[in-house]
Amino acid sequence: MAFLEISHLDKSFGANRVVKDFNLSVEQGEFVSLLGPSGCGKTTVLRMVAGFETPSSGNIAIDGRDVVNLRPNQRNIGMVFQAYALFPNLTVAQNVAFGLKVAGRAKAETAARVTEMLALIGLPDLADRYPFQLSGGQQQRVALARALAVQPHLLLLDEPLSALDAKIRASLRTEIREIQQRLGITTVFVTHDQEEALSMSDRIVVMNGGMADQIGTPFEIYNRPRTRFVAGFVGTLSRFEAVVKDPAKGAVSLGKQTITLDQQIDAAAGARVTLALRPEAAHLGRFNGCDVILPGKIAEVHFMGSVIRIKADVDGQLMSLDTFNRAETPPPRIGTEVEISLAARDFIVLSA
C-alpha cells in the first residue's frame, strides 16, 4: 500500500462533475505533480486531500489511514498556496512558529525549529519582518517553511510559483525540489506549467476534464504520451496524418513515402492514424542514424537563444524542428528547400 492512496475519487459541484474516478498512489518520499489545463480539477483533488472539500465518493488514505472523515486540522498536512497566505499580523518567525504553537510545543523547541526552518529556506535574517515587507519569492519561501515546520506527513502545493516572475520561479523550483529531497517528504504539487512538472517531479499525473489521462515519469510522459491530449499538452509536437499499410509490421504511408515504425499499430490497414514527432527528433540535412528523409521548405524561423525552432512545410503539413544555435552557422532563411532527416522509431502513434 502506497503512502498516499487515492481511489475512485469523485467530486461534483451540483450537476458539474469536476473530478471523475481519479486514482493515484504516491510512495513515501515521492514528488508527484498534477499537471493539466485550467479547470481540469487539479485544485479540487488537492483540496480533497487537504480536507477542504468533501469527496462525493471515493477514498483517500494517508499512511494506511482513511482520512476522508478527518477535519483539515486533524490531517497533519502541510499546504502551500498560490497566494502565499501568510498571516499579515504575524512576523516571519511567528508565522513559521504558528503550527508549533497550536500544537503546544515547548518555547525553546519552537524557537529552535523556527531558526532551523529559516536557515533551510535561506532567510535567516528576516525573522522579524512582516509579510508585507517581503518580496513574493521570500513570502512563498516563508510559507513553505511554515508548512514544513510542523513536520507534516504530506506536503501539498497548489501552483506555488504562478504568482512569481520567471527568474525567481526557476530558482525557487530547484530550491523546493532540493528541500523536498533533503527532507524526504511526500509531496503533491499542482501546476499548469509543463516545464515545472517535467523538471521537478518523480512522476506526473496529466489531468484532463477531471480524469487522470496518464501517470508516469517525466521521461515517459514526454517521450511516450499515451493520448492525443497528453501529447498535445506536454511539450511541442508536430502531427502528421498517415495511412496504415500493414499494422503488424508497423508500416504506414506518409505523403509519398512508406515508413516502417518499430511498433505494431492498433488499427486496420487503410485506416488513418496520427503520427507525432518531437521537434528535437528532426534534423536539418542528412544526419547519422536517421532512416527517413523528407523534403521540406523552411516556413518559420524562431531564434530563441541557445535553441532555434524552425517550422518546415513537409507535404503541406508543418513540422517543428529544434536545432542548437552555433555561432558559425546562421539560421536558415525562410523559403529555402531543405532535407529533413529523422528516425522512424521516434514517431509516436497517438491512439485517442
Ligand X SMILES: Nc1ncnc2c1ncn2[C@@H]1O[C@H](COP(=O)(O)OP(=O)(O)OP(=O)(O)O)[C@@H](O)[C@H]1O
Residues in contact with Mg ion by CB under 5 A are: 43
Q: Which segment (42-50, 115-123, 177-185, 282-290) binds ligand X by CB under 6 A?
A: 42-50
Instruction: Find which of Mg ion, another protein, ligand X, none residue 18 binds, CB within 5 to 8 Å per kind.
Output: ligand X
Q: Which segment (85-93, 186-194, 246-254, 324-332) binds another protein by CB under 8 A?
A: 85-93
Would you say how long the chain is, in residues? 352
Q: Which of 175, 231, 164 is nearest to 200 (CA)?
A: 175
For residue 329, give the DSSP letter.
B
Q: Which of 54, 73, 151, 264 binds another protein (CB under 8 A)?
A: 73
Residue 128, C-alpha cell as written in the block: 522579524
Q: Hey, which residues does 214 pair with through a beta bridge?
A: 206
| 20-25: long-range contacts, CB 8 A cutoff, minimum separation 24 | 20/209, 20/210, 20/211, 21/58, 21/211, 22/58, 22/210, 22/211, 22/212, 23/212, 24/205, 24/212, 24/215
With CB atoms as reference, the residue minimizing the distance to ligand X is 43
Q: Which segment (57-65, 69-77, 288-296, 329-337) binds another protein by CB under 8 A?
A: 69-77
Q: Which segment (1-9, 80-88, 170-178, 305-313) binds another protein by CB under 8 A?
A: 80-88
Instruction: Find which of another protein, Mg ion, ligand X, none residue 41 binds, CB within 5 to 8 Å per kind.
Output: ligand X
Q: Which residue type is seen at 200?
A: M
Q: Hey, which residues does 231 pair with through a beta bridge?
A: none
Q: Which segment (20-28, 127-135, 223-231, 343-351) binds another protein by CB under 8 A?
A: 127-135
Instruction: Find which of Mg ion, ligand X, another protein, none residue 122 binds, CB within 5 to 8 Å per kind.
Output: none
Q: Which of 54, 103, 119, 307 binds another protein (CB under 8 A)?
A: 103
Q: Which residue type is seen at 125?
A: D
Q: Which of 135, 153, 146 is nearest to 64 (CA)?
A: 153
Q: Which of 60, 62, 93, 150 binds another protein (CB under 8 A)?
A: 150
State yes or no: residue 330 binds ligand X (CB under 6 A).
no
Q: Which of 6, 24, 35, 42 binds ligand X (CB under 6 A)?
A: 42
State yes or no: residue 43 binds ligand X (CB under 6 A).
yes
Adjacency order of strands within the sheet including 348-350? 257-260, 251-254, 238-246, 272-277, 348-350
Instruction: Find which of ligand X, another protein, Mg ion, none residue 148 binds, CB within 5 to 8 Å per kind.
Output: none
Q: How far is the CB of 173 from ligand X (least distance, A)?
A: 17
d(Cα 81, Cα 316) in Å, to the nearest integer? 46
d(Cα 260, Cα 291) in Å, to the nearest integer? 10
Question: β-strands 154-158, 77-80: how paired?
Answer: parallel
Strand, helix or coil for residue 251: strand
d(Cα 141, Cα 134) in Å, to the nearest integer? 10
User: Under rule CB under 6 A, how many of the chain's residues touch ligand X?
Assistant: 12
Residues interacting with ligand X, by CB under 6 A? 13, 16, 18, 36, 38-44, 192
Residues interacting with another protein, by CB under 8 A? 50-52, 71-79, 81, 83, 85-89, 91, 98-99, 102-103, 128-130, 132, 143, 146-147, 150
